[in-house]
A and B are shown apart, each in its own frame.
Chain A
Amino acid sequence: MSLVLKDLFDGFRDPATLQALAHQIEQAAARLSKPLRIMEVCGGHTHTIMRYALPQRLPKNIEFIHGPGCPVCIMPKERIDQAIALAQPANHILVTLGDMLRVPGSTQSLAKARSQGADVRAVYSPLEALSLAQQHPDKQVIFFAIGFETTTPMTAALLAQTEALGVRNLFFHINHVLVPPAVSALLAEQPCHIDALIAPSHVSVITGAKIYQPLLARYGLPMVVSGFEPVDVMQSILQLVEQTLAGEARLAVQYSRAVDWEGNLKAQALIARFFEPRAMFRWRGLGDIALSALQLKAPWQTYDAEIQFASLLSNQPIDDHKLCICGDILRGRAKPQDCKVFAKGCDPERPLGSCMVSSEGACHAYYRYAKVTQIEVEVR
């Protein structure tokens, strides 16, 4: 693997560029007739916004609403309990991506289950699940698949290989979720506090920008598909302000260095071969949303852990703590510091709600980068 990654971010954190953009946004935003409330859908953007403290350089009438775009944060507790249940039998190995380990289910996390003897493996690449299955023919290996449209192709590729090699002891617990239905559910609610959208570029590298077209048609609000570096986000904000001032609602692609309209058609075909929309998926913090996640198609049910190990799994919904206001945060009705238990009863070590779970959740990002209050800007 080559580590010349500099090209990907070089220049996209440049202070002079950021200053110039901040200045342009300030001038443009002065002409807005009311505050512009921008939802950044993806947790990666939330992380960038907080890590680089962008709000401190933005005028007061630009507000952020931190969206539901973190696949770890939105995983309902009952599905984590399912992962833990699948890890229990002595002949099972549960394989998942690292971030999942710390997420608490109703009684414990996968990391805790592991420390108590369950065989839980964290991997970087889904393909490692296949080698584990091959190394342990006497065991049932279950891949707990998570992620948005970005990671679905990797799971599909793993399925294709599993089938091609005739491996029979690898199963899939599918938790792949879809961005547009979740955003649509938020936009459909009344009153809606969202005026404009920043959509994640890495999703569109796979799906193309086209997946947002129905949202645009239905809700008519400015949207930009944006990269994750601070310059990307600032450029996107400027575009959204300009669209608003011009009274337009367009779907713009800021991250044109890798996103086009159609996306990666090969990956899309691979996904379509194995997956179909699930009638209903429960999002932690948002509740049931129709057609917002994927499941394996009927011909692949022999690989489906939810079907093959159904007797081990409960589907009983488990709610978050009653003081948790993640749902309101995701809807733009509240900020993390409005929560009574923020940074008191709830912190990244012992999260009570979904937004505190991974570094891309809104509460976690506020906790990590701003602690209880936004720190004051001090002039040297």
Chain B
Amino acid sequence: MNRIQLSQGGGGLESQALISQLFYRYFNNPILAQAEDAALMTLSGSLAFTTDSYTVSPLFFNGGDIGKLAVVGTLNDLAMRSARPGCLSAGFIIEEGLPYADLERIVGSMAQALQQANAQLVCGDTKVVPKGAVDKVFINTSGVGQVQCQPAPGMNQIQAGDALLISGDIGRHGAVIMAAREGLDLTTELQTDCALLWPQVDALIQAGIHLHALRDATRGGVAAVLNEWAQATGLGLWIEEAYLPISEPVQGLCELLGFEAYDLANEGRMLIALPKSQVEQALSILQQLTDSQQAAYIGEVRAAQPSRVVMQTAWGTQRILDWPKGELLPRIC
């Protein structure tokens, strides 16, 4: 089997070959093709800039892989500030011995995600490190995009009286990764939710929805985002537990391993704070798009119970929804 070797990250001939045969072939665009030390771009207006590193294990999972994640994750961070997908950088840290076919598959899904998003990868870097120095491959991506809303959505605009929406069913990405690590076979039932959020954000902006705040619920899940918002705003977030969309396989896995779906990571779900008067309009827009058909109203922002997330159960009792804690470990009895 063809495997990545240390020499392919050494900056010499072998590196050049890897770059031109793999990266240039998949990411081909005029800016990247300049092949200089830095990409030149002409940008104007208000810009959003973000970075994230991707270390997911396993590399390949139901419905996605680390490559798709590395593009989608960073573009989603841009979208949360109403920034249209623009330019991306990518840094690869590859463990010696990674099968070439795996790397090609990862690069291929990055290219596909970029194309879907209408974004460009304009610069990159590759390092190969000795076996054991990283686990297979880590990818860092940074992204720049043009901000479409003024002011850009942000926590500081959340107000008492705002409604809270979720763009789809929760916990799927976390559940898929967990199931893969536990060797549970869920092949047909459960796919990651990893998807671009920009089409949803764009549609909402076009319709004139006032997006007070957006946040993709990645690590720490919905519980972490809600708690962050509650703490930053000093307001109470009141959530109706029964309204949170959770698919059956995710609920099943949570029962099995002792987790709560709202603590699990998502890679294509966002929380939206917006004026209550626009809830129906926003939901009808989202529900027409493939990745947000299950978008739902989940609760509202109030002055009561400052800095807390209050979960209202289906039978009218209330409790606190706390930050997810520590390593996710299952209960044992």
Contact = CB atoms under 8 A, between A and B. Distances in A.
Interface of A: 1, 3-6, 8-9, 13, 15, 18-19, 22, 42-44, 47, 50-54, 56-57, 70-72, 97-102, 111, 122, 124, 146-148, 150-151, 202, 348-349, 358-360, 367-371, 375, 377-378
Contacts of A368: 320, 322
B210 interface: no
A47 B255 CA distance: 13
25 contacts: A3-B189, A3-B249, A3-B253, A5-B256, A6-B248, A15-B242, A15-B313, A43-B333, A44-B333, A52-B317, A53-B319, A57-B315, A97-B332, A98-B330, A98-B332, A101-B327, A146-B332, A147-B332, A150-B333, A348-B325, A349-B325, A359-B331, A369-B319, A371-B322, A378-B305
Given A3-B184, A6-B252, A378 B318 contact: yes
A358 B320 contact: no
Given A57-B317, A375-B308, A377-B317, 6 more contacts: A98-B330, A147-B333, A369-B320, A375-B318, A377-B318, A378-B305
Nearest to A364: B325
Given A5-B255, A360-B331, A360-B333, A19 B319 contact: no
Nearest to B322: A368
Interface of B: 182, 184-186, 189, 242, 248-249, 251-253, 255-256, 304-305, 308, 310, 313-320, 322, 325-327, 329-333
Contacts of B314: 13, 15, 18
Contacts of A50: 319
Contacts of A5: 252, 255-256
Contact of A3 (B252, B304, B308, B317): B252
Given A1-B184, A3-B184, A102 B320 contact: no
Given A70-B333, A375-B305, A375-B310, A53 B325 contact: no
4 closest A-B pairs (Cβ-Cβ)? A53-B317, A15-B314, A98-B329, A3-B252
B317 A99 contact: no
A367 B316 CA distance: 20
B120 to A, nearest CB: 40
A259 B200 CA distance: 50
A1 B318 contact: no
B167 to A, nearest CB: 24
Contact of B185 (A1, A42, A47, A51): A1
Nearest to B254: A5
B333 to A, nearest CB: 6
Contact of B315 (A22, A111, A360): A22
B332 A71 contact: yes
Given A3-B256, A5-B255, A101 B329 contact: yes
A354 to B, nearest CB: 15
B333 A148 contact: yes
Contact of B330 (A6, A19, A99): A99
Contact of A370 (B184, B320, B325, B331): B320
A146 B305 CA distance: 39
B326 A102 contact: yes
A378 B306 CA distance: 14
Contacts of B242: 15
A70 B320 CA distance: 22
Nearest to A3: B252
Contacts of A13: 314
Contact of A124 (B316, B325, B330): B330
Contacts of A349: 325-326
Contacts of B182: 124
Given A53-B318, A348-B325, A99 B332 contact: yes
B333 A151 contact: yes
Contacts of B319: 50-53, 369-370, 375
B229 to A, nearest CB: 17
Contacts of A370: 319-320
Nearest to A147: B333
Contacts of B327: 101-102, 111
Nearest to B328: A98
A100 B329 CA distance: 10
A378 B332 CA distance: 35
Contacts of A72: 332
A70 B330 CA distance: 14
Contacts of B313: 15, 52-53
Contacts of A1: 184-185
A222 B305 CA distance: 39
Contacts of A102: 326-327, 329
A231 B249 CA distance: 22
Contacts of A100: 332
* Chain A CB within 10 Å, residue with most, of B184, B186, B304, B329: B329
B146 to A, nearest CB: 41
Given A9-B255, A375-B305, A99 B329 contact: yes
A97 B257 CA distance: 12
Nearest to A58: B317
Contacts of A56: 316-318
B331 A99 contact: yes
Contacts of B310: 375
B276 to A, nearest CB: 14
A18 B308 contact: no
Nearest to A100: B332
A182 to B, nearest CB: 14
A102 B256 CA distance: 21
B182 to A, nearest CB: 7
